[in-house]
Structures are given as C-alpha cells and as structure tokens.
Amino acid sequence: MSTEPTKKLELHYTLFCDDVRLEAGNKLSFMGVFQNILVEHLPLTLIKFAVVNHWQGQGSYLSEVRILSPDRQKAIVVSQPTPFEIASGGFADNISFFVNVTFPKRGRYVVQTLIDSNLFHEQDLFVSDAPEAELVGASEAVN
C-alpha cells in the first residue's frame, strides 16, 4: 500500500491489554494492561485480547498483527490487514482485537507486527502456569 519507505514510520510502543475504549476528547482508555500471563493452569482462553501499536511518521500503510506459538511454527491468531494513514509529523494508533484466543501451553509466544506484509516488529508474550500458592499476591505487584 505504501510507496514510501518504512523508515518514515516509527513504532513508539506496543501494549497488550484486555480492552481499549475510545473516550470523550478522542482519548484511549486501556483496560487490563499486561506484559506476561501467569495463570493457575493451562490451556488458557482469553475472551478478548487487544494489541495496541502507537506510530509516528507519515504515509499510508497496511498493518497486520499475528501471534506465533513458542516454536514459531503455528499462528495462534492473525488479524485482518488494516489500513492507516499518518499526516507528516503525526501519530496514529492501530488496535487489533482478538476474541477467544487460546494459549495451549506455557512458553514464549511471539507477537509480530507487519507493515505492508513485511515484518516490522516482534515482542515476546510469556505465558506460564503456576500453583495457586505462587499466584497469591502476584496481582498486587506492578512491574
């Protein structure tokens, strides 16, 4: 889609969360932000899961997000390609929502962001199970 080089595009951050809402004043609210998933037992199915990418640059692009299994051999989920445009010096947020995402086993899943069908960024998502005793107090800690 883009005829401009992706060097005019910069990814500022990627967030994983349960939900994203558009509020008054065109503000985004992120619910349930996380960087790892620690549960009592696996497999785990997330009813709703969002990947948020915040971009700066200029041009028109096509974004895709996919989550690969720990062995990188299977795509757990793949988003539909989504076009977005950034005016010169501007910003854009691209949000990919997934429903009923199942993580069958523990491991380091790979969240890939593609721009114009080319790999642009990878971020790890660690998924693990732990006995209930290890989970006590885990929700009180902020990393």
CA atoms of 65 and 79, how far apart (whole Å): 5
CA atoms of 35 and 123, how far apart (whole Å): 10
Domain parsing of the chain, residue ranges: 6-137
pLDDT for 138: 55
CA atoms of 126 and 108, how far apart (whole Å): 5
- pTM, whole model, 2 decimals? 0.84
Residue with tokens 């060097």: 7
Give pLDDT < 70 ranges for the chain.
1-7, 131-143
pLDDT for 26: 84
What would be the CATH architecture of the domain defined by 6-137?
Sandwich (2.60)
- Tell me the backbone φ, ψ of residue 136, rounded to 5 degrees: -60, 125
pLDDT for 143: 46
pLDDT for 130: 80
